[in-house]
Amino acid sequence: MDIIDIARASGMAVILDGRIGREQYQSVCGSLSALQRFAEAVRLGTVQQGGHQKRTTPPARRA
């Protein structure tokens, strides 16, 4: 899943695309409705991939 492609397809614009050393920087902006479309696309992509990813940290404990 390429998150920048999903952002573009959702109507968001890439306003920064650069590299400093080995780090790559990208920023996106858009309307609230574009953000909602982006979130829905990511949610659907996660569901299609099985929806289960391994946790790298244990769940937080409740007091």
Is residue 32, in this structure, part of any structural domain at all? yes
Predicted local distance difference test score (pLDDT) of residue 50: 78
Is residue 30, in this structure, part of any structural domain at all? yes
Is residue 63, in this structure, part of any structural domain at all? no
Residue 30 is part of which domain span? 3-47
Is residue 52, in this structure, part of any structural domain at all? no
Q: What is the pTM assigned to this prediction?
A: 0.66
Q: Looking at the 3D structure of the chain, how many domains does it have?
A: 1
- CB–CB of 7/28 below 8 Å? yes
List, for residues 11-60, the tens digit of each pLDDT value: 999 999 899 999 999 999 999 999 999 999 999 988 887 755 555 556 66
- CB–CB of 8/20 below 8 Å? no
Is residue 10, in this structure, part of any structural domain at all? yes
Is residue 60, in this structure, part of any structural domain at all? no
Cα 7 from Cα 49, distance rounded (Å): 18
pLDDT higher for 1 or 24?
24
Tokens of 13: 């614009």
**23-29 and 13-20 strand pairing:** antiparallel
Predicted local distance difference test score (pLDDT) of residue 59: 61
Which of helix, strand or coil describes residue 41?
helix
